[in-house]
Chain A
Amino acid sequence: MTPPESSDIEPPLALLAELTHRCPLRCPYCSNPLELVRASAELDTASWRRVFEEAAALGVLQVHFSGGEPLVRRDLVELVADAANAGLYANLITSGIGLEADRLARLVEAGLEHVQLSLQDSEPTSGDRIAGLTGAQQAKHRVARLVREAGLALTINAVVHRRNLEHLDEIIDLAVALSADRLEVAHVQYYGWGLANRAALLPTRQQLDTATATVQTARARLAGRLVIDYVPPDYHAHRPKACMGGWGRRFLNITPTGKALPCHAAETLPELHFPTVGEAGLAEIWYHSPAFERFRGTAWMAEPCRSCERREIDWGGCRCQAFALTGDAARTDPVCGLSPDHAILAEARREAEAAAPDFVYRQHSALGRHLTPPRTPRPRRPAAPRETPTAARG
């Protein structure tokens, strides 16, 4: 299906394929929903293959294999091959737990280009505690080496928060020691499990400022050796993030059961019906489903967004955050200094000053990521190519 003739809706750039919610780790900021899906409800191999073919036809350029832990899918090699054969650039987002050299070789042969390996801290005691798994940290070292030996590009993804920020220098040193091409220093984003653990995770303003300065210094020192991407925590901000680059503008997320979402947290919004890939084709879903239309563009906005000069810069911020903090997904993201709900953030920031409670680890049936905007093109020609991240952050 092609877009409507007059449509100014652009095709999505990237697909986040959440193959499973199963994972050996129990990180307390997991981006999966509080209600985790069981293995028996997961999409099968053939359905995923059809998703990749439809995604490529729709204009998707990259696929991020994620989860949970995508390595627990026995058909992962086949799925990567299907995506690569469809013409998609394949990224694997993994904890690394259980990855062996022979399987990695088969993934490379299938067309995998890049591995994003999570890192919970710089040293084993804390790393294993945050991951909720003994031996997790040791596995990271082993897998980073395997990835480099296999000739793949390697990104280390370090999610940072008040329990590991004091080790940020060591985390950066470790990324260099592991020969990563890229390090993503991503502050926890507060949805789902992260929100449930906010008091245990949210850094103080001082911790944040120190971290930001550390990243800036390291970037200059390591230019040409290690690229460092930085995702700040918006609870300390006055301008909201352009979440997902705008609802239904760039990204498509498919859950383990085949639901199509504009972002991985969108299922937290109660009023929307998200179609599954069994119910409709991806193009139909992208261009015409009410859920993708609901917050696309600016027509849905109320004040102060509606008349704001930044409405097409930040797109009103994050819908899931607006809902999580105010109960109304159509309100301005409370992160915005212009939001009448901005005081909610000050209350949350006070939690960061108090003693940190214990983690609520991710698990089945207990209580149950985001984007930086593309860099602005240079005014001079020839401009440095406009750079757009194609991955959800969190």
Chain B
Amino acid sequence: MTASASSIAGGAVLDFAAHVRFRFDERRKAWIVLAPERLLLPDEQAVAILQLIDGKREVDAIIDELAGQFDAPRDVIAGDVLPMLQDLVDKKVLRQ
């Protein structure tokens, strides 16, 4: 299987992998992702995307929501969101 063969479809539903925790750290005043021996520090835009990962929404719906939130063309948003989600699926931070 290659990275491209596992690419995410618009109808895919994503959730955080088991044992991955997305939470606000009061000490640092920042959102963090805790994973096995890993820490991710998402920036503001990444946080906006990750907050929509709930194991229910389809990827297409997430892109629609963000296009509304940021008042930006849908294909521009999709061009940013899909590679990030793919990267996090490849790293097993998210699961399909």
What is the 8 Å Cβ interface bit string for chain A, positions 354-394, against chain B (1 contact, 0 not)? 00000000000000000000000100111111111111000
B76-96 contacts to A (CB < 8 Å):
80-81, 83-84, 87-92
Query: Contacts A61-B25, A89-B21, A223-B2 known; A382 to B45 CB distance under 8 Å?
Result: yes
Query: Is the CB of B53 closer than 8 A to any CB of chain A?
Result: no
Q: Are A153 and B19 in contact (CB under 8 A)?
A: yes
Taking a contact as CB atoms under 8 Å apart, the answer to whether B90 and A381 are in contact is: no
A151 to B19, CA, bound (A): 9
| Interface residue from B1, B28, B87, B92 paired with A384 (Cβ < 8 Å) | B87
Q: Chain A 188-205 against B: per-residue CB contact (8 Å), 1 yes, 0 no?
A: 000000000000000000
Most buried by A among B3, B18, B36, B81: B36
CB-defined contacts of A61 to chain B, threshold 8 Å: 25, 32, 34, 39
Asked whether A224 lies within 8 Å of B1 as measured between CB atoms, the reply is yes
Q: Are A391 and B28 in contact (CB under 8 A)?
A: no
Are the C-beta atoms of A385 and B40 separated by less than 8 Å? yes
Partner among A59, A64, A182, A380 whose Cβ is within 8 Å of the Cβ of B28:
A59
Once bound together, how far apart are the Cα atoms of A385 and B41, in whole Å? Answer: 5
Contacts of B19 in A (CB 8 A): 113-114, 152-153
Contact B37 A116 (CB under 8 A): yes
Q: Give min CB distance, A39 to chain B, whole Å.
A: 27
CB distance from A53 to the nearest CB of B (A): 14
Q: Is the interface of B mostly helix, strand, loop or mixed?
A: mixed
In the complex, are the beta carbons of A223 and B90 less than 8 A apart? yes
Is there a chain B Cβ closer than 8 Å to A246's Cβ?
A: no
Is B9 positioned at the interface, with any CB of A under 8 Å from its CB?
Answer: no
A8 CB to closest chain B CB, in angstroms?
14
A142 to B52, CA, bound (A): 38
**B38–A387 CB distance below 8 A:** yes
Q: Given that A221-B1, A225-B1 are contacting pairs, would A384 and B34 also be in contact in the complex, using a CB cutoff of 8 Å?
A: no
The reply on B67 being an interface residue by CB < 8 A is no
In the complex, what residues of A have CB within 8 A of residue B38's CB? 387-390
The answer to whether A382 and B37 have CB atoms under 8 Å apart is: no
Question: Which A210-245 residues have C-beta < 8 A from chain B?
Answer: 220-225, 227
The complex places the Cα of A147 from the Cα of B42 at a distance, in Å, of 29
Closest Cβ of chain B to A264, distance in Å, is 15
B33 at the interface (CB under 8 A from A): yes
**Contacting residue for A91 out of B36, B50, B83, B91, CB 8 A:** B36
Contact of B45 among A220, A227, A383, A391 (CB under 8 A): A383
Is A31 part of the contact surface with B, judged by Cβ < 8 Å?
no
Partner of A390, one of B1, B37, B46, B91: B37
B90 to chain A: which residues have CB within 8 Å?
A: 223-224, 227
B36/A182 in contact, CB under 8 A: yes
B46 touches A382 (CB 8 A): yes
Of the candidates B42, B49, B89, the one having the most CB atoms from chain A within 10 angstroms of its own CB is: B42
Interface string of B1-17 (1 = CB under 8 A from A): 11100100000000001
Roughly how many angstroms separate A391 CA and B17 CA in the complex, as a whole number? 20
**Contact status B80-A91, CB under 8 Å:** no
* A54 CB-CB contact with B under 8 Å: no
The 8 Å CB contact of A385, one of B1, B21, B42, B81, is B42
Q: Give complex CA distance A224, B48 in Å.
A: 23
Q: Which residues of B contact A256 (CB under 8 A)?
A: none
Q: Can you offer 24 A-B residue contacts whose CB atoms are under 8 A?
A: A91-B36, A153-B17, A155-B36, A182-B92, A223-B3, A224-B6, A224-B90, A381-B43, A382-B48, A382-B49, A383-B45, A384-B83, A385-B42, A385-B43, A386-B40, A386-B41, A386-B42, A387-B39, A387-B40, A387-B91, A388-B41, A390-B37, A390-B38, A391-B37
Identify the A interface with B (CB < 8 A): 11, 13-14, 59, 61-62, 64, 89, 91, 113-114, 116, 151-153, 155, 181-182, 220-225, 227, 377, 380-391
- Extra contacts, 16 of them, besides A91-B36, A155-B37, A224-B1 (Cβ < 8 A), are A61-B32, A61-B34, A153-B18, A153-B19, A182-B92, A222-B1, A223-B1, A225-B1, A382-B43, A382-B84, A384-B88, A385-B42, A385-B50, A387-B91, A388-B38, A388-B41
Interface of B with A (CB < 8 Å)? 1-3, 6, 17-19, 21, 25, 27-28, 32-46, 48-50, 80-81, 83-84, 87-92
Closest CB pairs A-B (n = 7) = A382-B45, A385-B40, A114-B36, A385-B42, A223-B3, A391-B37, A224-B6
